Chain A
């Protein structure tokens, strides 16, 4: 589970996120759709425990990150699949993906199998063994995505997963993301790609819009998006009222939601 309560972030004197509250339960996909400079990347970094908010609390797997010691943060991070473009250029795609699984303490044989499985699912069998430096931008993006999804971490945070990908790859990514959620992961996906957001929503994902650091439509700039299990997905569809809890049975009390 990923949950943000009233999260605000600043960069210098500029507020890039303001009072953002949302929640993604296990087995669900939440698409945060927004344009350039809307605060998606900061939101993802905060949700993935790679950045610390100025205000508000972040919960991952029922743990309040603000309560954790600094030394404990790596153990939380390794269980959140986070899409970041930074790769090891000299290593192969397979090695890059294996590394993410190995950091979690998996056996070497298991990491190899899992990395190969995810890369194959994203159509990268042919370039598994090539150094990342020799791959195209799209292939690098897929390797980075495979690294985030490998090992099916309990929480997955994807920042612009379709950047540099063609339509065929976007469709494949949508399938893999949905499959990851179906295996029990809570997936938070930030994208500016309208078509991809629609594709995910068509597959049952919930969708919210982020604009200028605020979840759109919130009366106070704060919207608690409490996502229901698939059975109640309808209640949390993009048509839901922004600024109010969407989907009752999410474990987030409505009163608290309204209170920001």
Chain B
């Protein structure tokens, strides 16, 4: 059987029984949609984590009785610790100016503007190098600083990051569960669409066998049809994801007040690979599901 004849048969089949081909394409589309959304969600969470890791720092508030020599020595020691990017001393005036700037932009707590100079304590701000371990390092550093003489209070600015990590863990589990469920559903749908009219297709295989068709020729239309259906489904799902992704990123940036640095959609090679993989999966399933008379396997 020529490829042209196989394509003609697929066309006829699609016209006579469009439900089966649509179900197959739809199942693959759902699978790609869920899998793609999970992969893109993973990328987004990495971007968010990256944005938050840029700003991990620890603030050590100093008591009023500390002298400049001790403070300078502490600054030097902290500056040499591994993972510390920058250490700087923040004077009460600067702290007040920052507070006023923040309250001004937020348009709230006007009373903070009237705080008198010198009310806020002197502090040391330690910026940590960005990285996945930044939050843990900040917590460790904060614990050590709490035992240093002259330090009255320590804040480790890692809450958001830790929360994000816990959300990411939950998100990963949810994504895996959704992927597994959709894969099971998709496979069931694929099995149904490929397994329908089994008796009719067996009869067709028997006739083709009598006419001198090879097992490969008998399976060619089934493989090509399922491959084309899967390819169409995957393409549709990727198009939907491509259309929705920029909107999702913009909404997230707006809600979280973060600049994610424009996380990119799948690269052309990744898209091509996904399409080829979907077509291959469909073709192999269609090929295997095409009945061949006993003893005539390809």
Contact = CB atoms under 8 A, between A and B. Distances in A.
Interface of A: 50, 71, 74-80, 82, 84, 86-90, 99-100, 102-105, 107-108, 111, 147
Interface string B199-215: 01001101111111110
Contacts of B200: 90
| A-B complex: 7 closest residue pairs judged by Cβ atoms | A78-B212, A77-B212, A102-B5, A74-B214, A103-B211, A74-B212, A103-B213
B8 interface: yes
A114 to B, nearest CB: 14
Contacts of A108: 4-5, 8
B92 interface: no
B11 to A, nearest CB: 11
Nearest to A77: B212
B4 A107 contact: yes
Interface centre among B211, B213, B217 (most CB of A within 10 A): B211
Interface residues on chain B, size class? 10 to 19
A58 B188 CA distance: 48
Contacts of A75: 212, 214
Contacts of A76: 212
Interface of B: 1-2, 4-5, 8, 16, 200, 203-204, 206-214, 217
Nearest to A105: B2
B1 A103 contact: yes
A182 B2 CA distance: 29
A78 B213 CA distance: 7
Contacts of A102: 1-2, 5
B212 A99 contact: no
A99 B209 CA distance: 12
A188 B212 CA distance: 18
A107 B204 CA distance: 20
Contacts of B210: 50, 77, 82, 84, 86
Contact of A79 (B2, B5, B212): B212
A105 to B, nearest CB: 6
Contacts of A89: 203
A82 B207 CA distance: 11
Contacts of A86: 203, 206-207, 210
A258 to B, nearest CB: 35
Nearest to A87: B207
Interface centre among A75, A102, A107 (most CB of B within 10 A): A102
B203 A88 contact: yes
Contacts of B217: 74, 103
Nearest to B16: A90
B210 to A, nearest CB: 5
A88 B206 CA distance: 10
B102 to A, nearest CB: 75
Interface centre among B8, B203, B214, B217 (most CB of A within 10 A): B214
Contacts of B207: 86-88, 99
A89 B203 CA distance: 9
Contact of B212 (A88, A103, A111): A103
14 contacts: A50-B210, A71-B214, A74-B214, A77-B211, A79-B212, A87-B207, A89-B203, A102-B2, A102-B5, A103-B1, A104-B212, A105-B1, A107-B4, A108-B4
A225 B213 CA distance: 31
A84 B210 CA distance: 8
B213 to A, nearest CB: 5
A84 to B, nearest CB: 5
A72 to B, nearest CB: 10
Contacts of B5: 102, 108, 111
Given A79-B212, A86-B203, A107-B4, 12 more contacts: A71-B214, A74-B214, A75-B214, A76-B212, A82-B210, A86-B207, A86-B210, A99-B207, A99-B208, A103-B208, A103-B217, A147-B211
Contacts of B212: 74-80, 103-104
B29 to A, nearest CB: 28
A78 B217 CA distance: 12
Nearest to B214: A74
Nearest to B298: A71
A184 B16 CA distance: 39
Contacts of B1: 102-103, 105
Nearest to B215: A74
A107 B214 CA distance: 18
Nearest to B17: A90
A155 B270 CA distance: 53
A45 B16 CA distance: 34
Contact of B213 (A50, A74, A107, A147): A74
A79 B212 CA distance: 8
B46 to A, nearest CB: 52
A156 to B, nearest CB: 13
